[in-house]
Structure 1
Amino acid sequence: MSVEDLLRDMGGLRVDAALQHAALASITSTGPRSLGPDKEPIWSPEKQQQQTVKQQVQEEKKEQLKLTKVEKESPHKPKKSSPTVETFNCCIPDFEDIQVYQFKQHLSKECNKKVRHEMKILKEKQLAFNKKLLAEREIKSNLADQIAKQQTSDSQIKQIAEQLALQELEIHQRDQLAIKKESREKLHKLALEGVARCQKRFNRKYENITRMLLSLDKETVQEACAARNRQLKELGQQFNQLLGHFKTSGQATDQSQYLSLILKAEQFCHTINELEECFIKDLAEFSHHIQEQLRLEAQKKQQELERQQKEELERQQRQLAEEQQQQQQQQQQKAAAEAEEAKRRQDQEAESQGIVAPPVFEPDQSSAPVVVAAAAGAAPPPPPPTATDSLGNVPASIYVHPTRLAFYNEINALYKQKVEIVKPLQTNEALKQYRTNCQRAINMPLNAISAVSPQHLQQNFDKIYNFFNGQPVKIMNQSITINDHPLARDYCLLLVAKKFVSQCETSISSNPQAAFPFASVINTLWKLLPDFGKIFLAYMYKESPFLVPYVIPQHSNQTTEQYLKTIGYRLSEKNELEKPDIYLKRQTGLARLYAAVIMTPSRKSDGPAHCFGLEEGWRWLAHFVMVQPLPDVSATLMMEMLHNLGFDMWRTYGKQFVKLLLFIQTHYIPQLSAYDEGGPKTRLEMILAKFLRERTIPQVTGVLPPGFW
């Protein structure tokens, strides 16, 4: 039981009597005790605290004993006697007893007060100890908590550090992977660009070879380049396999593999270049072989023809000799009959006059045929034909024929005249909006021209022609007519002719079939507006003087750049000359439109079908083979003209056109070989050999049928 429990129970006890009896008992008791200063309290939970409390209690007991002794030694204190006895022996209270009783009560109160004080002190000490103990426990607990927290914090810090390290490692690895990925992507991109360039070069060469082979017949390809063709197919398959491997490998390929792929692609490009040269060489040899065969065949035919002509001549000479012999015999018989008749008359006159006539000498009739035959044999044979070329023309110049130069100068003078006339309209800033509206009125229907249907072509033509007829056109909510200005008609003629020519480098050069609807509209406008045709030709000859044909010579004071500009080369925005392949592409488009204008009929309801007919194509070919050739350009234009006009010219001119083709093969191609050894010249040789071998030229696709609109 603790001190607190005792204190709680003090209210229910008679504390005074209990303490008094306890004090007396502790003094007088000699036997074993369970209470006293020498006994350990049973309520102390800890030994150290018990000892401290014991010492305090012993000290207090000693003081109480001292006080008790003092009381005993006091004179006023009665002698020791038994309280119980005294109580029962004396019924009347004594003064001393009262004093003793009062002293005892006072002592009891003081003891009680002292005990309470001591108990309060003990309680306070106990509370302080408990607080201290609790504080120590709390400190220990806090220390343990702090240690646990520190350990937890250390473990957390360690975990965080490990996590941060792992995160930094992951970030570093991620950065390394990103750098590797980025470098691999860059490497892949560079390799892709390199392979793409190689693929572009390979495909361009492959298309050139394929186009060259398609221009030939199947027999020529099988005879001249069957092995090369198989090699080309194998090379194309190997290159496609390389591209497939490159696409499937993707970015998993390392640098060495990329370099290996690019080197392989470059090797394929080099191989196909060599293969193209082999193709050209083989085809050239085959062409030479074919030409030699054709030459031998032509010689045989010529010899056969000469033999036939000789036999025919001999037969005619024999027939003529026989006829002359018969005529001579008839003349001799007639002369003999006349001589006999004259003789008879003379004899009759002589007989009538009595005169006898002398005898008449008559030659031997057997010698007459010999004389007639000799006379017939002495007659010279008919003179051979004059030594002229198969064209019937003698070239006046190596650059241009005089008649073509005069025609060129005529239309060029008309073009310059029109340009000078429209300058006031073209330079007037106040009329800028009107010029823009005129351009829109022409450009919108002209750009829409196509052979989709006859109605579509008719509608676009009517929009252009009605504008030239003075009908109003609504442009941007504004109505204009060509009669709004006196120079507008000439200005629009120049504008529409230039716009037609500009189609050669946009739509016609990439789509050859687009030339025929444009050509039909051009021919129809040419019939209805005669000046338009000459202005159109002026623009065509300005872009390509070879269509005259006119090979403009380079003057001594001209630079190469200036000369190239005179024959149609253009300058870019950076003041650089265009590349030759772009120039040849535009020249091809111009030749296609020029040939389409020659062969395409106009609208059937406007009179004659052609203002610039097929004879212009014959005239161009006849003069073109007489002017000095230029590398690539001459072969390209010749091949384009034959490809487009060959069918109609063969059907129209027949054997004369075949003679022209033979002349081109035997005379013009050797002359061209002195200036040109490129692909266009080889393709021209192949197409000529094909035409002459097959004795036909296929009709070009996209030609408008007669009466289309």
Structure 2
Amino acid sequence: MSVEDVIREIDRLNLETVLQHAALASLTCTGRTLGSDKNPFRIPVDENDLVLPDESPTKAENLFPVTIDLEPSLSCFPDADAINASIVKRELAEQCKKSVRMQLNQLQERQQSFRSKLDKQQKEQENLETVNHKALRKEQEILICQKADQLANAHLDAQQREQQALRRQTDQKLHKLALEGVARCQRRFGKKFEGITKLLLSLDKDTVQVCSSHNRQLKDLAQQFEQLVSNVKAGKCEQTQYLRSIIKAEQCCKSLDALEMDMIKQLAEFSELIQQQLKVEEAKKHEEEQRKKLEEKKRLQKEKEESEARQTQQQQQQAEEAAKAAAAAQAAAANTGATEVQPTAAKPAVVPPTADLSTSYVHPDRLKFYNEILALYQAKVDAVKPLQTEESLKQYRTGCQRAINLPLNAISAVSPQHLSNNFDKLYSFFAGQPVKLLNGASMTINDHPLARDYCLLLMAKKFVSQTETAISSNPQAAFPFASVIVTFWKLLPDFGKIFLAYLYKESPFLVPYVIPQQQGQSPEQYLKTIGYRLTDNELEKPDMYLKRQTGIARLYSAVIITPGRKADGPEHCYGLEEGWRWLAHMVHVKPLPDVSATLIMEVLQTLGFEMLRTYGKQFVKLLCYIQNTYMPQLSAHDEGGPKTRLEMILAKFLRERQIPQAVGLLPPGFW
């Protein structure tokens, strides 16, 4: 409320004074201001505020409206005392108003000072609020910055985690890629290293000394490659080093190939040197024989001359006796004839060379045997087709496969008991013993009339499949498998023929049969006929094909010399004569690059000891025939590593006149 409002309210309270003043003022008015025809002038007054002392609200209400006559009378004019009193009252009222105004001014000043204080306080408060607001805003900005930093750090941590996860995934992918690449190189390196090791083991001490530098390089290269493989397997490489590891592995393989070529070249030179030395020794021996023959001839000529001289002397001394001289002359002629016949009788007889066995592909007898084996195999396959194709017998077939695969895969020469237990599991199944299936039920081989032939085919195929897994990389593993095969062959003769059929299907060279390429036949089709495999429309690589052929030859040779279980009959049902027959026929068929040399070398390394002990000089003659006659024929078609290794092995066998026994051969009565 302002000061003017306060004054106005105070004026409303002094109604009586106001009326008096109005009466005095009406004396000077020239016209009428009040009346019935005039609208009264009313001041809005709050009843609560207009309560006067000593007067009731009813009396106050009668003051309004005031009616003034149109014509004033003399009685209505106040007297002088009244006027003086009114003046005094007016002065007092003025003084009262002045004091009130002064108080009001003071109040206004106080109010202004209060307002200024209030404004100052408000300003101070506003300043304080501004400062607090700034501080709060600053704190909020700090909090916002902190939250922003936290969000940025969290986002950065998330990005770092994503980058780390991406890097780990990249590392894993690169590690996997490096493992695959190094594994391929490792298989290649291992195969090549195994071949070089075999070559070095097959050499004698003098020949090994020639390759001493290569042997050291081979050891260093093997250590480097092994360290490289261990680092890659452990994952100790950086991202950039994974690809380098593959390149290093490839370089190691190339270095090993170069080392092998250099070693083969050096061994070939050494072999040529040995051949030259042998030729020189043979020439010296021949010259010595010719010299001895010449000396013998000279001696005989000298004896003849001496005899003729003695005869002439006798003729001169006994000229007078003609009869005696004639007799002496006849005796001299007889002696002369005898001396002329003697060197002719000492000349050795010439043995004519043997005629060609048959065509250059297969001997008729072996072809006949091959056809008989395949006919039996095909008859068995055709017979079991109903069992193979019947969908309701799928679980039964699975049980048969399980009963054969589990013990067959566990065959090894760990101990006689281990080998006997696995054989008993197989044979008990063929004997009709029940076998549990996966669902808990049991089945026997007698549950179906075709099950026996089906299981014979399945077991023979499983034995042959071991050649490309266990036997090709571990030659010693062939002998326990061969012992079980021979034992089954004795107990189930059809099994042996089926086993041979699977061998011939994988390698017709074991007949030996070099299947000729037919007219119009593509190279891929011809390679399939001689045992190459086609996987995903891609033909098998030559090195993998040779590896399989090596395993097949090892198992075939191991079956020939490995005895079966002693309690089941004779030791061999497919004996050493089969090895002799194969080797004699193999050197008379058309040689093939790499394959012929590989098979002959594997058979000689496995059967050579037994064949030399059994056939003696005849086997040595066969080796000489291979070296002198067959190897030149093979050299016209083959210049690879297997041919060179075969030459070195033959030279070593003929030079030392002994062949080491195959490693891993089971002793007689092993189980």
- Describe the shift of the 1:210–1:164 C-alpha distance in structure 2 as closer, same or farther (beyond 3 A): farther
Partner amino acid for 2:345? P
Query: Deviation at 1:650?
Result: 1.9
Indicate whether 1:416 and 2:403 are aligned: no
Q: For 1:325-344, list aligned pairs within 5 A.
A: none
* Contact 2:181 2:246 (C-alpha < 8 Å) held by counterparts: no
- Structure 2's unaligned 5+ residue stretches are 1-79, 300-323
Where does residue 530 of structure 1 map in the other structure?
493
Tell me the alpha carbon deviations over residues 578-629 of structure 1, each in whole angstroms, 9 at most, x when there is no partner. 2222211111111111011001011112222111111111111111111111
Structure 1 residues 283 and 198: alpha-carbon distance in aligned structure 2, compared to 1, 3 A threshold: farther
Deviation at 1:373, TM superposition (A): 7.0
1:594 corresponds to which of 549, 556, 562? 556
C-alpha change, 1:554 and 1:459, in structure 2 (3 Å) is: same
Deviations 1:170-217 (A, max 9, x none): 978997999799789969986996798579379456665455434434
More moved, 301-310 vs 133-142 = 301-310
Tell whether the 8 Å contact from 2:627 to 2:650 is kept in structure 1 after alignment: yes
Count of matched residue positions in the alignment of Structure 1 and Structure 2: 560
Q: Which letter maps to 1:222?
A: Q
What's the counterpart of residue 366 of structure 2? 404
8 A Cα contact 1:188 1:258, kept in partner: no
Equivalent residue, structure 1, for 2:209: 222
Other-structure match for 1:282: 266
**Aligned partner (choices 180, 200, 205) of residue 213 of structure 1:** 200
Structure 2: how far apart are the matches of 1:475 and 1:181?
46
- Once the two structures are superposed, the pairs formed by residues 151-300 of structure 1 within 5 Å of their partners are 153=137, 157=141, 197=181, 200=185, 203=189, 209-223=196-210, 225-230=211-216, 251=238, 272-298=256-282
> Who is 1:663 aligned against?
625
Q: Which residue of 2 aligns with 1:646?
A: 608
Aligned to 1:437: 399
Which letter maps to 2:663? Answer: T
Shift of 1:311: 11
Q: Give the stretch that moved more between structures: 122-131 or 699-708.
A: 122-131
Over aligned residue pairs, what C-alpha RMSD do you find?
Answer: 4.9
- Partner Cα separation in structure 1 for residue 599 and residue 165 of structure 2: 53
Superposition deviation, residue 548 in structure 1: 0.8
Question: CA–CA distance in 2 between the matches of 1:252 and 1:413?
Answer: 59
Change (3 A) 1:700 1:109: farther
- Which of 652, 655, 661 is matched with 1:693 structurally? 655
Aligned-partner Cα distance in 2 for 1:703–1:562: 38
Q: Which of 512, 525, 529 is 1:566 aligned to? A: 529
Q: Distance in 1 between matches of 2:409 and 2:175?
A: 42
Distance across 1 between alignment mates of 2:295 and 2:370? 49
1:398 is displaced (CA, Å) by 1.2
Name the residue aligned to 1:500. Answer: 463
**Equivalent in the alignment of 2:537:** 575
TM-score for the superposition, normalised by structure 1: 0.66
Q: Is 1:633 the equivalent of 2:595?
A: yes
Q: Structure 1 residues 368, 422: closer, same or farther in 2, change over 3 A? A: farther
Cα distance change of structure 1 residues 144 and 467 upon mapping to structure 2, 3 Å threshold: closer
Contact 2:178–2:243, Cα closer than 8 Å, also in 1: no
Change (3 A) 1:580 1:242: closer
Equivalent pair of 2:483/2:563 in contact (CA under 8 Å)? yes
Counterpart of 1:627 in 2: which secondary structure?
coil
State the 1:706 CA deviation.
0.6
Instruction: Please name the residue that 1:463 is paired with.
Output: 425
Question: 2:486, 2:289 → 1: CA distance?
Answer: 44
Deviation at 1:491, TM superposition (A): 2.6
Q: CA deviation at 1:132?
A: 4.3
Does the alignment pair 1:675 with 2:637?
yes
Partner deviation per Cα, 1:53-105 (whole Å, 9 max, x = no partner) = xxxxxxxxxxxxxxxxxxxxx97999xxxxxxxxxxxxxxxxxxxx9xxx99x
User: Compared with structure 1, are the counterparts of its residues 540 and 233 closer, same or farther at alpha carbon in structure 2 (3 Å cutoff)?
Assistant: closer
Distance (whole Å) between structure 2 residues aligned to residue 486 and residue 309 of structure 1: 78
Amino acid paired to 1:684: L
The corresponding residue for 1:46 is: none
Shift of 1:448: 2.5
Q: Take 1:595 and 1:220, find their aligned partners in 2: how far apart are those partners?
A: 27
TM-score (norm 2): 0.69
For residues 471 and 289 of structure 1, the distance between their equivalents in structure 2, rounded to whole angstroms, comes to: 64
* Whole-angstrom distance in 2 between the partners of 1:564 and 1:583: 10
Q: Relative to structure 1, is the Cα distance of residues 111 and 183 closer, same or farther in structure 2, using a 3 angstrom cutoff? A: same
Structure 1 residues 189-198 or 619-628, which shifts more? 189-198
Residue 175 of structure 2 contacts residue 235 of structure 2 at CA under 8 Å; is this kept in 1?
A: no
- Is 1:149 aligned to residue 133 of structure 2? yes
Tell me the SS of whatever aligns to 2:470. Answer: helix
Tell me the SS of whatever aligns to 2:413.
coil
Report how far residue 466 of structure 1 moved: 3.2
* Contact 1:474 1:480 survives alignment (8 Å): yes
How many angstroms apart in 2 are the aligned matches of 1:683 and 1:560?
Answer: 28
Q: Distance in 1 between matches of 2:437 and 2:579?
A: 40
- 1:617 aligned residue (576, 579, 596): 579
Task: State the one-letter code of the partner of 2:469.
Answer: T
Q: Is 2:446 the partner of 1:483?
A: yes
Aligned with 1:381 (options 345, 352, 366): 345
CA 1:306–1:395: 2 relative to 1, 3 Å? farther
- Is the 1:195–1:265 contact (alpha carbons within 8 Å) kept by the matching residues of 2? no
What does residue range 96-111 of structure 1 map to in structure 2 within 5 Å?
none
SS of match in other structure, 1:612: coil
* Structure 1 residue matching 2:345: 3-state secondary structure: coil
Q: What's the CA shift for 1:545?
A: 0.5
SS for the counterpart of 1:508 is coil
- Consecutive unaligned residues of structure 1, counting only runs of 5 or more, are 1-73, 79-98, 316-360
Aligned residue in 1 for 2:477? 514
Residue identity in the other structure for 1:555: Q
Change (3 A) 1:643 1:242: closer
Range moving further from structure 2, 132-141 or 548-557: 132-141
**Other structure's SS at 1:503 match:** helix
Secondary structure of the equivalent of 1:507? coil
Read off the aligned partner of 1:289 and give its amino acid letter.
L
Distance 1:244 1:433 in 2: 44
Deviations 1:217-255 (A, max 9, x none): 4431322x34444555666778899999999995497xx
Contact 2:182 2:245 in 1 (8 A): no
Separation in structure 2 between the aligned mates of residue 509 and residue 639 of structure 1, nearest angstrom: 14
C-alpha offsets along residues 136-185 of structure 1, whole Å, 9 cap, x if unaligned? 32234313532563477369648966995998699789979997997899
- Per-residue CA shift, 1:370-405, capped at 9, x if unaligned? 53773685586378555455xx67331211122221
Greater C-alpha radius of gyration: 1
Cα 1:438–1:266 shift into 2, 3 Å: closer
Matches within 5 A, 1:7-18: none
Quick check: 1:598–1:613 contact (8 Å CA) kept in 2?
yes
Tell me the CA shift for residue 544 of structure 1: 0.5
Supply the distance in 2 between the matched residues of 1:480 and 1:417 (Cα, whole angstroms).
Answer: 26
* Separation of aligned partners in 2, 1:407 and 1:238: 51
